[in-house]
Structure 1
Amino acid sequence: MLRRVPSRLRRQLPPEHIPGAVARLGPDSRPDPYGLRGQAAILDGPGRAQRQAKRRGRQHTMAETRLIQSRYRLLDVIGRGGMGEVWRARDEALGRQVAVKCLKPVGPQPDRSFTGILRERFRREARVAAALQHRGVTVVHDFGEHEGVLYLVMELLDGRNLSQLLEDNGQRPLPVPDVVDIAEQVADALGYTHEQGIVHRDLKPANIMRLTDGTVKICDFGIARPGHDVGSASRLTSAGVAMGTPHYMSPEQISGGDVDHRSDLYSLGCVLYEIATGVPPFDLDDAWAVLVGHRDTRPEPLRSHRAELPGFLDRVVLDLLAKSPGERPTDAGDLRRRIRYGRTGDRPPEPGPTTRPTTRPPGLPSWTHAMTAGRRATGTVAAGLPLPDHSAGLTSEWTTGTDPRALPAVRGERPTPSPELLSTLADRHGTGLDLGRLGHWEEAGEVHRAVAAEREHALGPDHPDTLSSRYEVGFTLSRTGRADDALREFGRVVDGRERALGPDHPETLAARQETAYVLGQLGRHFEAHQMYAAVLASRERTMGRDHPDTLRCRHNLAFNLARLGRLEDSYRLAHEVADARTRLLGATHPDTLATRYEVAYTLGRLGRWEDALRTYREVAQARAASLGAGHPETLSARYEVGISLGRLGRGAEALELYRALVQDRTRVSGPADAETLRARHGLGVNLGRMARWEEAVGEARQVCAIRERTLGPDHPDTLVSRREIAVGLGWLGRWTEALTLYRQVADARTRVLGADHPDTLTGRNDEAHCLEQLGRRTEAVELYRQVAALRRQRGAPRP
Structure 2
Amino acid sequence: MGQVWTGYDQRLDRRVAVKLLRPDKVAGQEADELRRRFVRECRVTAQVDHPGLVTVHDAGSAGEELYLVMQYVDGADLADHLAEHDPYPWSWAVAVAAQLCAALSAVHAVPIVHRDLKPRNVMVRPDGTVTVLDLGVASVMDTDTTRLTHTGSPIGSPAYMAPEQAMGGAVGPYTDLYALGVLLHELLTGQAPFTGTTALGVLHRHLYDPPAPVRTLRPEVPEALEALVLRLLAKDPQHRPASAQETYEELLPLIPARGTPTGAPLDPTRPFLLPHAPWPYRAQVPAPRPQSAPAPERADVAGAVDEVKRLLGEGRVTQAVDILGAILPVAAAQHGEHSPVVRTLRKQYAATLMDDGQYRRALPELRRLADERATESGQADPQSLRFRYDVAQCLEQLGEPVAALAEYRALLPYYENRYVAGDPELALDVRRRIGHLLLALGDRVSAQDTLVRLLHDVERLRGPGHPLAADIRRTLQWLGQVRA
TM-score (norm 1): 0.30
- Identify which of structures 1 and 2 has the higher relative contact order when contacts are C-alpha pairs closer than 8 Å and 6+ apart: 2
TM-score (norm 2): 0.49
